[in-house]
Amino acid sequence: MPPLKLVLNAALEYDFSLIAIHCSLEDYRIAYFLNRHLGIHLQRRAQDVDFKKQGYEALFSLFTFEDSRNYRSYTLVGNNCKVKHPCSADDEGLFKTQENFKLINLIPELRKTDFFLKLESDTLTPKTILAQINQIPQVVTAYTVDVNQLKSKRNLIFE
């Protein structure tokens, strides 16, 4: 009898909606405005998203809300993190106390995006939420993102 061979396809299904948010607010302020306008209760998690990229350790803020009554899950995550970049002796220049910072993105394809709102629901359409987010005066713009078109979509799985 020939040996039994099992082949597993590591194709993950990304069954969530993603909204990109552009604004100049701090993470706690955008969470506050989303709570007010959407009627949800985003709370900061005790642990941020720890991400290692290009030899740097970046921490991205993470806010979550589980709506168990309506079977919905909301996750707000920052896209930008500034990390200290070590200065070489040639880069110090006139001021030796000057520190260089490097900007690391959770989703590099959307560098200019400040935050992502991840929606996990069977019945929720992002159009209604998107309209409410765009009514927040501090938000420059918000739009839906096709998750399947992103190369770094695995960075959006936080469990």
For the stretch 103-150, pLDDT in tens is 888 999 999 999 999 998 877 778 889 999 999 999 999 999 998 889
Tens-place pLDDT, residues 50-87: 877 777 788 899 999 998 888 889 999 999 988 876 65
Q: How far apart are CA 101 and CA 2, in angstroms?
A: 58
Q: What is the pLDDT of residue 152?
A: 86
In a domain, 157, yes or no: no
- Specify if 126 maps to a domain: yes
Residue 94 has a pLDDT of: 57
Instruction: Kindly state whether residue 45 falls inside one of the protein's structural domains.
Output: yes
Instruction: Give residue for tokens 């000057």.
Output: 98
- Averaged pLDDT of the chain: 84
Tokens of 67: 């709506």
Residue 11, domain member (yes or no): no
Helices (H), 24-135: 27-38, 126-134
Between β-strands 139-145 and 17-23, what pairing exists: parallel, antiparallel or unpaired?
Answer: antiparallel
Q: Is residue 92 part of a domain?
A: no
Does the structure show a pLDDT above 80 at 42? yes
pLDDT at 96: 57
Domain that holds residue 65: 17-80+107-152
Inside any domain, residue 24: yes
28 is a domain residue: yes
Q: Indicate the pLDDT class of residue 46, thresholds 50, 70 and 90.
A: confident
At position 45, the amino acid (one-letter code) is: R
The number of domains in the chain is 1
Compare 124 and 23 and report the one with higher pLDDT: 23
pLDDT value of position 113: 95
The CATH code of the domain that includes 21 is: 3.30.310
Residue 14: pLDDT above 70?
Answer: no
Q: Is the pLDDT of residue 98 over 70?
A: no
Please report whether residue 158 resides in a domain: no
